[in-house]
Structure 1
Amino acid sequence: MSVTEMFSNIQGFLSADQDVREDIRKVVQVLEQTAREILTVLQSVHQPSGFKDIPSKCLRARELFCTVRNQIGDLKTKFPADQYYRFHEHWRFVLQRVTFLAAFVVYLESETLVTREEVAQILGIQAGGEQRDGGRLRPALAYLHLHQRAGLGLPPAQPQERPAPQALRRTQV
């Protein structure tokens, strides 16, 4: 293989990678816009007359979450199933934001804290620890202590082994 062929192959790989990233960016931009719309609807509860219309605001937010589910479904198709960690930085923040918004809606509706399963249902993603073919998204719930790491396709939690107490003691010199 000549040097020209090698660089041609590398250039083809980089171009394909850039195309995937651009497709992801487009979907994430639309998802961010929807998240801003939900935030705008929900922020109005902080106005003096906001408490009167909480049920209608929550209903409107729930309607927008249907759009979020569709956008997340579209996002799932934009990256290769086995390359989640390569691209997850593109959508990690926006998923944290929509997770907060889902938690806020649940709180406004029922004055209770949201569960991981409720967020997964609202966002249309699976919240389990088992991994399918890697092509699904999971919520990033770091501030709710409901996940192991920020991201969308997390492996199942692995318990960490604790060293024996004897191993923690200092050796006598």
Structure 2
Amino acid sequence: MSKFSSLFLDFQKHLDKEQGVVDGIKAIVSDLDSTARQIVITLQVIHQGDHKKIEACSSARVQFEDVRKKFVTLAGSFPLCDFYRYHDIWKYSTQRLCYCAALIVWLEVGILISRETAASILGIADKESDGVFHLDIEDFLMGLLELSSELARYAVNSVTHGDYSTPMQISHFISDLSAGFRLLNLKNDALRRRFDVLKYDVKKIEEVVYDLSVRNLIPKPQSD
């Protein structure tokens, strides 16, 4: 065998090893996606009426136990110094799970989830450092933007079920969220495009609130 052939055979071994790592990661992410879909389905029952949200959040938090186990397996499937080399494989799964975590927190206590809390629910580190599997900040932000669309839909369905206070709560929240994103200088094309959708979510919720207002259905603040 010539040195030339031997050299390229070594290249092929390297490529085969690399493909093995990628295939292993994809298999784990496939399982992660399956669990994420189940969590999304679990949370969809909130659109059937407000009385469903406590049960939905509780069930979803139980399902996140499986998510944390899968992230542990994922973190052990490749050298963590290569985090961003493979990050594209699981980023969409992480974004969806961040959205689910953000929705749970909003439904439970009506506040914006922090990056630290989201990372804790997912079972990964909240900050980037060498050799650590962590929650990428852009994945977290994409999850928040996905939350806005879900809450816009929730506002409409709340009115359908005769709940006129929830749309007002959502309106204030989404307005604050939009104001927060406007403070960012978004250079990432995907984030910037997704932020454009947030503008339509704000408009959609404003239309719901306006309709309630002209119908005189907005709950009056209770006096002390």
- Runs (5+) with no aligned partner, structure 1: 151-173
Question: 1:149 and 1:23 mapped to 2: Cα distance?
Answer: 32
In structure 2, what is the equivalent of residue 11 of structure 1? Answer: 12
Question: 2:7 and 2:28 mapped to 1: Cα distance?
Answer: 32
- The alignment's TM-score, normalised by the length of structure 1, stands at 0.77
Question: 1:5 and 1:18 mapped to 2: Cα distance?
Answer: 20
Tell me which stretches of 4 or more aligned residues in structure 1 moved more than 6 Å: none
1:60: Cα distance to partner?
A: 0.4
1:128: Cα distance to partner?
A: 2.6
In structure 1, what is the equivalent of residue 135 of structure 2? Answer: 138
Q: How has the CA–CA distance of structure 1 residues 149 and 60 changed in structure 2, closer, same or farther, with 3 Å as cutoff?
A: farther
Question: 2:97 and 2:29 mapped to 1: Cα distance?
Answer: 12
Q: How has the CA–CA distance of structure 1 residues 10 and 124 changed in structure 2, closer, same or farther, with 3 Å as cutoff?
A: same
Q: For residues 48-87 of structure 1, what are the structure 2 equivalents within 5 Å? A: 50-87=49-86
Contact 1:80 1:135 in 2 (8 A): no
Contact 1:76 1:137 in 2 (8 A): no
RMSD: 2.1
Q: For residues 2-151 of structure 1, what are the structure 2 equivalents within 5 Å? A: 2-47=3-48, 50-129=49-128, 131-132=129-130, 134-139=131-136, 140-143=139-142, 144=144
Contact 1:142 1:149 in 2 (8 A): no
Contact 2:127 2:134 in 1 (8 A): no
- The alignment's TM-score, normalised by the length of structure 2, stands at 0.60
1:33 partner amino acid: S
Q: Which has the higher helix share?
A: 2
Percent of aligned positions with the same letter in both sequences? Answer: 33
Task: Give the SS at the match of 2:81.
Answer: coil
Question: 2:114 and 2:84 mapped to 1: Cα distance?
Answer: 25
Q: How has the CA–CA distance of structure 1 residues 55 and 63 changed in structure 2, closer, same or farther, with 3 Å as cutoff?
A: same
Question: 2:110 and 2:80 mapped to 1: Cα distance?
Answer: 37
Question: 1:149 and 1:117 mapped to 2: Cα distance?
Answer: 23
Question: 1:95 and 1:2 mapped to 2: Cα distance?
Answer: 45
Alignment coverage as a number of residue pairs: 145
1:149: Cα distance to partner?
A: 9.6
Per-residue CA deviations over 1:85-121 (Å, capped at 9, x if unaligned) read 2111100111000000000000111111111111011
